[in-house]
Amino acid sequence: MAGRLLPLELVDRCIGSRIWVIMKGDKEVVGTLRGFDEYVNMVLDDVTEYTVTAAGREKNQLDQILLNGNNVCIMVPGGDPEASSSSSSSSS
Amino acid sequence: MTSKPTVLDLEKYIDQEVSVKFQGGREVRGILKGFDPLVNVVLDECVETLRDPNDAYRLTDKTRRLGLVVCRGLQVSLVCPNEGLQEIENPFGQQPQI
Amino acid sequence: MSEQATETKKTTTTTTTGKAKYQPSDFLKAVLGRPVIVKLNSGVSYRGILACLDGYMNIAMEQTEEYDDGQLKAKYGDCFIRGNNVHYISTIKRR
């Protein structure tokens, strides 16, 4: 039995809007989702690529990319790393 | 058609807070909203625990809010409910220096 | 390689939600024979003409330039990239 909100259905609904993709390593990618396939390889438009290192966040602008789905960890529909502030209070 | 019961029955954790760990060391928690047989997982109000910039496997007390997210099953290594979770003291005492 | 003009028009399919979908396979058809940047997981980029590729994202490129950290490191006439190392394939805006 599958859960109520099917993950790939949610990604499908995100087509045409911005998506924030967090990769396995230190890379993050933000772009407009044009489509994806069964491996969640994604075609993205107007892309900003971030590489997060100890020194800071390195930015790179790209027109259109095919992102390899193999190392994708987290997908955030409508998300933006610049808008998501970090806090140091871990109690909840 | 009856499907055979799976070991990964996440159905009972729907609408509960769970922790998800990934290969490579990332760790998030959020409210489980859905999943599929490949253990792709939907989490709401998701919060990522940030890691030490110099050590990808050491967590800090810093977090960042992600909101509604999809976690890719391929990279998910652990899903556990946060209820009943407790941190214990390191039973091996001082970690040996490598 | 010379037939790229007939392949550049975007082929689109529709999703269950009715939105136009531009799948990875459509992207690959569109960029065949065109200049691209291929970035690897290690951070090294290869800039050149995409000659050929397969379902594993194994790639053959021509007139390839290797960039590491923005610096041109080497030039290759032909080069082959094993698909498991590929982070992304990107179009190049002009030229």
Band of pLDDT at residue A4, cut at 50, 70 and 90: confident
Decide if C80 is inside a domain.
yes
Average pLDDT over residues A11-33: 95
What's the number of domains chain C is made of? Answer: 1
- Position C15 scores a pLDDT of 52
pTM of the model: 0.84
Most A CBs within 10 A among B72, B77, B79, hence the mutation to make, goes to B72
Q: pLDDT-derived band of residue C5, with 50, 70 and 90 as boundaries?
A: very low
The minimum CA-CA distance between A43 and chain B, rounded to whole Å, is: 17
Residue C79, domain member (yes or no): yes
Nearest chain B residue to A10, by CA: B70
pLDDT digit string, tens, across residues A31-68: 999 999 999 999 999 999 999 888 888 899 999 999 99
The predicted structure's pLDDT at residue C17: 53
- The mean per-residue pLDDT over the stretch C72-78 comes to 92
For residue C95, the domain's CATH number is 2.30.30.100
Q: What is chain A's percent helix, strand, coil content, to nearest 5? A: 10, 50, 35
Residue C85 domain flag: yes
Q: Does B59 touch chain A (CB under 8 A)?
A: no
> For domain B11-81, which architecture applies?
Roll (2.30)
| Terminal C-alpha separation, chain B | 54
Q: Which domain holds residue C80?
A: 33-95
The amino acid occupying position B63 is T
What's the whole-number mean pLDDT along residues A65-79?
A: 95
**Mean of the pLDDT values across residues B39-65?**
91
Contact C91 A64 (CB under 8 A): yes
Q: How confident is the model at residue B50 (pLDDT cuts 50, 70, 90)?
A: very high
CB B66 within 8 A of CB A74: yes
Contact A64 C90 (CB under 8 A): yes
pLDDT in tens, B58-78: 889 899 999 999 999 999 999
Q: Do C23 and A67 touch (CB under 8 A)?
A: no
Instruction: For C13-63, write each residue's pLDDT tens digit.
Output: 555 555 678 899 999 999 999 999 999 999 999 999 999 999 889 999 999
Q: Is a pLDDT exceeding 70 seen at residue B16?
A: yes
Q: Inform me whether the C-beta atom of residue A79 falls under 8 Å from chain B C-beta atoms.
A: yes
C26 lies in some domain: no
Q: Would you say residue C24 lies in a domain?
A: no
Residue B61 makes CB contacts below 8 A (sequence gap 6+) with A88, A89, A90
| Domain assignment of residue C27, yes or no | no
Is C2 among the domain residues? Answer: no
Regarding beta strands A42-53 and A56-67, do their DSSP bridges make them parallel or antiparallel, or are they unpaired? antiparallel
Q: Which of A66, A70, A73 to mutate to test the interface with C (most CBs of C within 10 A)?
A: A66
Would you call C56 exposed, middle or buried from its count of C-beta atoms within 10 A (0-12, 13-18, 19+)? exposed
Residue B84 binned pLDDT confidence (cut-offs 50, 70, 90): confident
Query: For the segment A82-92, what is each residue's pLDDT rounded down to a tens digit?
Result: 887 677 754 44
Instruction: Measure in Å the smallest separation between the Cα of A50 and chain C Cα atoms.
Output: 12
Interface of B with A in 77-96 (CB under 8 A): none
pLDDT at residue A88 in the model: 72
Residue bearing the bigger pLDDT, A80 or B32: B32
Interface touch B64/A87, C-beta < 8 Å: yes
* Residue among A12, A42, A70 minimizing CB distance to C15: A12
Find the mean pLDDT for residues A23-27: 92
In this structure, which amino acid lies at residue A27? Answer: K
Question: What is the ipTM metric for this complex?
Answer: 0.86
Q: Is B71 on the interface with A (CB under 8 A)?
A: yes
Under a CB-based contact definition with an 8 Å cutoff, are residues A47 and A28 in contact? Answer: no
Q: What is the pLDDT of residue B74?
A: 94
